A and B are shown apart, each in its own frame.
Chain A
Amino acid sequence: KQEVTQIPAALSVPEGENLVLNCSFTDSAIYNLQWFRQDPGKGLTSLLLIQSSQREQTSGRLNASLDKSSGRSTLYIAASQPGDSATYLCAPCRGGNKLVFGAGTILRVKS
């Protein structure tokens, strides 16, 4: 059974800092991995999807890497802004299109 761990559980940083969110998963036989953002009381917004054959994906200030063999993914946020404050969720996808979610990292960026 896939288990997903996200570290840290919560993070508070001043505006402008670069930061790294970590995700580890126990079953490396994944098809892809998605990173999501969830604002309080809202749905999930897909940030990045990394396919199993890829090592990283970039979108604006976000960069996600994937090391499938070691069961790890990281989300790097450059020059953080208060608008980045949210919960970030990691979800590897195994066969059958099934996502398994971590508990998330709650990020607060202080102005």
Chain B
Amino acid sequence: DAGVIQSPRHEVTEMGQEVTLRCKPISGHDYLFWYRQTMMRGLELLIYFNNNVPIDDSGMPEDRFSAKMPNASFSTLKIQPSEPRDSAVYFCASSSSGTAYEQYFGPGTRLTVT
């Protein structure tokens, strides 16, 4: 299995621009998670989906952030408009009820907003 795939791996954008991060979960997994990692706050859960349905978005910092999962093999995290404080590494992870919900992480997208 290819594991969780994220794109792009690096993104540099200017303040005010729209940013879209993409994730392909492991095939057969029914949970998908978006996390953000910063030096100050560590790893934080932003939102997670079960069977393509958003279950808990309480970690989404502001209305500028939105996430979708149109099908079982694809999810996006969008920031519009982006701000310098959004600079972080964004991870996608997936898990399955069939494997005790063990979470597998993608390589992350390093976002820099100037």
Which chain A residues have a beta carbon within 8 Å of chain B's beta carbons? 31-32, 34, 36, 42-46, 49, 51, 89, 93, 96-104
Do B48 and A97 touch across chains, with their CB atoms under 8 A apart? yes
The reply to whether A98 and B102 contact each other, CB–CB distance below 8 Å, is no
Minimum CB–CB distance from B81 to chain A (whole Å) comes to 27
Q: Which residues of A contact B45 (CB under 8 A)?
A: 98-100
Q: Is the CB of B107 within 8 A of A89?
A: no
Counted as pairs of residues, one from A and one from B, with CB atoms less than 8 Å apart, the total is: 48
Interface size class of B (residues with CB under 8 A): 20 to 34
B43 proximity list for chain A (CB < 8 A): 89, 101
In the complex, the chain B residue whose C-beta lies closest to that of A102 is B42
> Are B101 and A31 interface neighbours, CB within 8 A?
yes
A105 CB, min distance to chain B CBs, angstroms = 13
> Which residues of chain B come closer than 8 Å to A43, judged between CB atoms?
91, 105-108
20 chain-A/chain-B pairs, Cβ below 8 angstroms:
A31-B101, A32-B101, A36-B105, A42-B108, A44-B93, A44-B105, A46-B104, A46-B105, A51-B100, A93-B101, A97-B31, A97-B33, A97-B95, A98-B45, A98-B56, A99-B45, A99-B103, A101-B42, A102-B42, A103-B42
Nearest Cβ distance between residue B36 and chain A, in whole angstroms? 11
Neighbouring A residues of B50 by C-beta, 8 Å: 97
In the complex, A93 Cα to B56 Cα: how many Å?
A: 14
Instruction: Compute how far the CA of A89 lies from the CA of B91 in the bound complex, rounded to whole angstroms.
Output: 15
